[in-house]
Structures are given as C-alpha cells and as structure tokens.
Amino acid sequence: MAKVLIPTRGIVVATAIACIAMCGCGKNLPARVPGGGAGTGAPAGESGGGIPATKNTTRLGGANSVVDAAAVATAIYPGLTPATRPETVVVADASDWQAALVASTFAGRPLHAPLLFSDKGSLPVETVRALQTMRPRGAPTLERTQVLAVGDTSVPSGYVARAVTGGSSATLAVAVERLATQLRKRAPREVIVTASDGAPAMTAPAAGLAAQTGAPILFTDRSSVPRATISELERLGRPSIYVVGPTGVVGESALKELESLGTTTRIEGADPSSNAVAVARFSDGTFGWGAVEPGHGLVFANPDRPLDGPAASPLAATGDYAPLLLLEGPERLGSALGAYLSDLQPGTPPLGPVHGVYNHGWVMGDESAITATTQARIDATLEISPKQASEPTPASQTTGAESTGP
C-alpha cells in the first residue's frame, strides 16, 4: 500500500446519500479511513459545489473531471468494508479522452472498476486520496493487479500495476477489448464504435453504454475505419456493431466500411444533448438501456466536461444503473432532455405513491458545471407526480436509432 502524505482538500460529495444508495455504509464517511489515508468527503459548499443533495438528486464532484471521477469512485467504493473496496482501479490521463472512453468497459462486469485520472504525467491530490480511501484489493484474474493503467498515464508507486497501451487510439481500443475478452472468457458479440476524431461530447454516452452492456468500444475515424479496427472486427466474426453519433461524428463512408464487417446500427442525435437521450432510449433486443419508462437512475453532466462521461461510467454498472444525460449548459436543460425527463416522470399508482417507482439523478460537478437552480429543476422533473400512473411503454427494438446493415 502506498504511503503518501498529502494536504487535505475537499471533494464535494453527498456521502450519506451516496453510501446508503450504493454501498449500504453508515451515515458519514470519516475524515480518515483506517489504513486507507485521507477520506474524500467534504461538507456542502466547501469547494463551492452548491447543493450536494435534494430529495431526488445527489451531486458528485467539484471543479473538474479529476475531482468528479474521484467523487464517483469513492461513492461506490468508500473502502470501509471488504465489499466496498474494488479489486482494481483504472487510471487514464485527463488529456487523453479516447483512453478514458475505451477504459469505461472495465467499469462493467467482471471488474466493476472505478476510473481515476492522472494529469499530464502526475497524480492529482484527489486521485491519490481516492486510491488511499478505496484501498484496491487486487484482482485475482489479473495477477492481483490493483491499478490498471490505460494509455500513457502516471502509475502510483506502492501498488501492483499493469499497463494497457497502444500506438494509436484505435490500437489502444483493441488492446482494451482483448483484455476485457480475457477477463470475461468470451469474445464480444456486440461492439460499440465511435470516432476517435469526433467531438468528445458526442462520444461520451458510449462510456456508460459500454459499462452497462459489457460491449467494448472500438474506434473509427470520421471518414474511414483504421486498419486495427478492421482487423479486430474481422477476427470477432461479424459482431453486431452499434455506432454512436450522427454523420458529423461517423460519416457515411466509414459507416459503409463497418457495414461490410457486421450488422451495423447507428444511434444518433443532432447535438450532444439529443445524442445522449438517443443512447439512453435505445435498445435492440437485450442490448442497450431502453430507458423509456419511469424508475431509473440518471447521470446529468455538462457537455463542456466530456470526461465526465467516462468518470460516471461506474454509475452505469452499479447501484441504480444510470445512463449519461447531457445538458445544454449550466443553466439550461434543453428541449430534448426536458421532453425526455417529462416522459420518464413517474405517476402515482392507484395504491398511492408508496407503491410507485422512482427516478434518481446524479449531478456531476460543481455549480460551474450545473447550477443549484438547475439541480432543483431536475429534482422537480424526477419527482413522482400526482397524475395517475400508466402502464410502462416497452422499449422498442431500435428506439432513437437508424438501422443499417448488409
């Protein structure tokens, strides 16, 4: 275990609600965890984070995605009991969103690994503190690896570490996919593809989708498919390919190449907010969220912080299994998200609200990302309403998507 002396610095996280909802721990995280270094809890407002919690929302994080990732990780794994310590923690560099995105697949089964960020060759204090708090146990399936470093990133001393590297984003994605295949002991039959040169906010919803479904993420370019990706899709034997993003992210020429390598389905929206809603709505058989009825966890993030997609990916595969939703700005939900939340708002069943279903929102970052007023608006849209509940609408085969294939 690494022994590091660091200054105390707060991460805004509603520890009581987060622990109860996700880990079943006590009411508060201690300032120091025995044998685990400094804790990551902080009182409301210490870092200007705004309202930490309302009746239907919990705010996680602070001033940037490094802080947000540490808050998510320690909400899921407070390190207080063996069951609340992860086997492995994934570290990627905050300057490499492609590495962070593909690393999100490790947030799903079997590792359920949280993601932390390094920062241009060093480990931020929040990352060090989160590692000390969680005290990763070491994954038996990875020779007791405690820290899995994805891409070109710093590795903390004192931990059993393993690196996953690649000469390009496409080859790194293949390396991650092959390690995930080794851990799951079966080749994937579904693969998520998005563009390594696309707008990061348009690709961010792929992180939660990968964590929730177990499907790895492979990369294309906007106009063509890299050789590494082609070779891997050929090796996988025509898997189902789910392309995240519209033609501005993955163009038609790249889509046609993918169609020759497997049955291809595009999931798309015109902007980051509607694109995230399309991913949340989408289902194809057993693949996808299909979140079209009340009773869900939901992650709310600012599109100007695209790393919050990978940072929040553990919330997609634990607790209330929450897809990523993107606002249009700190003070604006936007029409696509507003309409979606209206569809998801639960009504009161005939036997009363005690017997109803409930939504819960995870709000990422401080008020520079999402204001307290916007958080209050989100809370109101998640609240069970007086209207009579209707029968849930089954998820359609390709809700919010355009299907293509050979």
Q: Are residues 310 and 100 in contact, defined by beta-carbon separation less than 8 angstroms?
A: yes
The residue-averaged pLDDT of 384-406 equals: 52
Instruction: Identify any residues that bridge with 323 across adjacent strands, giving them in sequence order.
Output: none
- Does the pLDDT of residue 37 top 90, yes or no? no
User: Environment class of residue 143 by beta-carbon count within 10 Å: exposed (0-12), middle (13-18) or buried (19+)?
Assistant: exposed
The reported pLDDT for the residue numbered 389 is 60
More confident residue, 384 or 133: 133
Helix 335-344 crosses helix 272-281 at what angle (to 10 degrees)? 30
More confident residue, 396 or 211: 211
Whole-number average pLDDT of the chain? 86
- CA–centroid distance for 17 within its chain: 19
The residue-averaged pLDDT of 200-204 equals: 98
The reported pLDDT for the residue numbered 50 is 67
The reported pLDDT for the residue numbered 355 is 64
In our burial notation (b when 16+ CB lie closer than 10 A, e otherwise), range 53-92 reads bbebbbbbbbbbbbbbbbbbbbbbbbbbeeebbbbbbbbb
What digits encode the pLDDT tens for the residues 278-332?
A: 999 999 999 999 999 988 999 999 999 999 999 999 999 999 899 999 999 999 9
The residue-averaged pLDDT of 74-94 equals: 97
What digits encode the pLDDT tens for the residues 332-389?
A: 999 999 999 999 987 666 666 776 678 999 999 999 999 999 999 999 999 986 666 6
Count CB-CB contacts under 10 A for residue 398: 17
- Does the pLDDT of residue 168 top 80, yes or no? yes
Which candidate, 168, 164, 162, 215, places its Cα nearest to that of 196?
Answer: 168
- Does the pLDDT of residue 226 top 60, yes or no? yes
The reported pLDDT for the residue numbered 398 is 46
For residue 337, how many C-alpha atoms fall within 13 Å in the half-sphere facing its CB?
A: 27
The reported pLDDT for the residue numbered 351 is 65
Confidence label for 17 from pLDDT (cuts 50, 70 and 90): very low
- Does the pLDDT of residue 16 top 50, yes or no? no
Q: Are residues 137 and 79 in contact, defined by beta-carbon separation less than 8 angstroms?
A: no
Confidence label for 155 from pLDDT (cuts 50, 70 and 90): confident
What whole-number distance in Å separates Cα of residue 59 and Cα of residue 381? 16
The reported pLDDT for the residue numbered 350 is 67
What digits encode the pLDDT tens for the residues 87-110?
A: 999 999 999 999 999 999 999 999
The reported pLDDT for the residue numbered 267 is 98
- CA–centroid distance for 173 within its chain: 17
The reported pLDDT for the residue numbered 345 is 85
For residue 211 the two structure tokens come to 């964590």
The reported pLDDT for the residue numbered 386 is 64
- Does the pLDDT of residue 142 top 70, yes or no? yes
The reported pLDDT for the residue numbered 121 is 81
- Does the pLDDT of residue 31 top 80, yes or no? no
Q: Verify cis geometry, omega within 30 degrees of 0, for the bond prior to 110.
A: yes
The reported pLDDT for the residue numbered 85 is 98
